[in-house]
Amino acid sequence: MLTRSEQQRGLAGGVAALTVIALLVLVPVAVLLAFAPTGLVQGSVVDDYTLSLLRVTLLQATLSTALSLCLALPVALALARQTKFPGRIWLVRLMAVPMGLPVLIGALGLIGIFGRQGLVNKALQALGLEQPISIYGLSGILIAHVFFNLPLATRMMLAALERLPQEYWRLTASLGMRRLSILRHVELPALMRVIPATSGLIFMLCATSFTLVLVLGGGPAATTLEVAIYQTLRFDFDPPRAIALALMQIAVTTVILLCLNLLPKAEDTAVGEGRLWSRYDGRSRLARSSDAIVILLAATFLILPLAMILVSGLSADLERLVLEPDFRQALLTSLSIAFCAGASAVTIGFGIIGADHVLSVRRTSSRASRVLGSSLSAASSLVLLVPPVVLGTGWFLSLRPFGDVNFFAPALIAAINMLMALPFVIRVIEPAIRAHAAQTDRLCAHLGLTGWARFRIVDWPVLFRPALTALSFAMALSLGDLGAVALFSSQDLLTLPWLVYSSMGSYRTADADGYALLLGMVCLGFTILGTVGNRRQR
């Protein structure tokens, strides 16, 4: 129950949030369309090189998705069978780390393991093999995508298996079903409820991957559309071709999003839900041994790059790096941009959810309400439709007539990072706002508590913790981003990810490892800050 003035304020906040998002997304897209080369329509701009970029983009996304799912399947099955495996809960928690880890840091860890001087290649050379594994090129991109997406797929599959009731496993044991029969009649039907949505999500993430391809691509043979846009604008300065590639990228992501909407939605993906049923099919010695091997291999694959980041970073001269003027400048710039991005993402997230809550309370079916509701639902997905590099390209071309683009760069990077963080922010604060509103709306209306008084006494004490969590996650995401920074960074605008990347480019590997560790510690600090007190609050 909301008063008329509360409804008006809620709708006004939603409209303001939509206006900001539309301005940030539609203006660059309109500029790209307005300055699109005339040959784009006739197809003369789409040459063999452009088609090869599209082919590589879709190929690496397809292979990465297939590998991630195929490797995650046995890991999820083994974890579901071995509910009492030592350290199981810590491994499941560890799988959340790559999803929140800055991509650039993960890439450095993988180079330390699979690079030419990495642990794997040194071991292979010791065995007399002359052609070690190459981390650069398509193989490196696939390894990196599997490192980041295997945990995501495993957690979603494991959640689907753990939702099955205990009676299923008792029945399979009483019927004497073998593992293949259980897989066919029990586990696969449960997994098929999440695999389509999971595969679609991973394909989308891989098709719009920028940092991993930029760092590990290794040359034109493994360049994707997003990296080609960056190279065309940053090195070749060929705006017509950059526009053509950006529009092609938008077309690709549009088709992918339309296909994703056709897939069945994944059910709740909360891992575990506290229901670790005893499994009778995992008690034989063969089952325990095979499952242990699978779990240990997965744990090794995930832990080694993370451990390499820590070891390599500690080996660097951290004291000298911290005292470097470039580091202090990059840290201050990154924190300023991250705070602006995080605070604006939380503010806009509150506006979107508040307006959506008002529409759900009013339950009106007018055309304007339906349009506004649909716009609010689609707002956070716009950044998926228009990737950060494409947004940066559009804004770069938009602002060129007004002077030096570098003058606007900090604000642009913060705005693009805000759009990137918005889906995560909404996912964090939306359940809290809806639950709080369901508990307090009727009571506040009965007491006549509205406006600032309600916000100060009732809302803020409860919503402060979710807002802080969302802010810290958004800031950590912004701190680790290289996509938006890549187009605008210069000597006057240094950020921590660009400092790591430029150190790698100038072959100062030790410095890059040290900066990566420092960046990871800052991101970890924000993550811990955002979750402090959550357990006590529950």
Task: Show contacts of 179-183: CB within 8 Å, 24+ apart.
Answer: 179/281, 179/287, 182/281, 183/77
Cα(266)–Cα(191) distance, rounded to whole angstroms?
Answer: 10
Note the pLDDT of residue 131.
65
Q: How far is CA 176 from the centre of its chain?
A: 43
What one-character DSSP code corresponds to residue 223? -
Report whether 54 contacts 411 (CB < 8 A): no
Note the pLDDT of residue 40.
57
Classify 490 as helix, strand or coil: strand
Digitized pLDDT (tens) for each residue of the chain, 538 residues in all? 677 788 888 889 989 999 999 899 888 888 888 877 665 555 555 678 888 889 999 999 999 999 999 999 999 999 999 988 898 888 888 887 777 788 888 998 999 898 888 888 888 888 887 767 788 899 999 999 999 999 999 988 998 898 888 888 888 888 888 888 999 999 999 999 889 888 988 998 898 888 899 888 877 778 888 888 888 888 877 888 888 888 888 888 888 878 877 776 655 444 444 456 677 787 888 889 999 999 999 999 999 999 999 999 999 898 999 999 999 999 999 999 999 999 999 999 999 998 888 888 776 667 777 788 778 877 766 767 788 888 888 888 888 888 777 788 899 999 999 998 888 888 888 888 888 888 888 888 888 888 888 888 888 888 888 898 889 888 988 888 888 788 777 777 888 998 898 898 888 888 999 999 999 888 888 877 776 655 555 4
Compute the Cα dihedral for 104, 298, 384, 468 and give only its sign: negative
Note the pLDDT of residue 72.
96
Which residues are within 8 A (CB) of 507 and not within 5 positions of it... i.e. 6 or more apart? none
* Residue 412, token pair as written in the block: 């642009």
List residues bridging with 78 in a β-sheet. none
| Helix 4-34 / helix 409-447 crossing angle, nearest 10 deg | 160
For the chain, the first-to-last Cα distance in angstroms comes to 26
- Return the CATH class of domain 1-35+316-537: mainly alpha
Note the pLDDT of residue 266.
57
38-267+280-305 has which CATH code? Answer: 1.10.3720.10
H helices within 363-408, ranges in order?
367-379, 382-385, 388-399
Tell me whether residue 179 is exposed, middle or buried, using C-beta atoms within 10 angstroms of its C-beta: 0 to 12, 13 to 18, 19 or more.
middle
How many residues appear in the chain? 538
What is the Rg, in whole angstroms, of the alpha carbon atoms belonging to the chain? 25
Note the pLDDT of residue 45.
59
Q: Same CATH topology for 1-35+316-537 and 38-267+280-305? A: yes
Note the pLDDT of residue 272.
47
What one-character DSSP code corresponds to residue 147? H
**Spans of all domains in the chain:** 1-35+316-537, 38-267+280-305
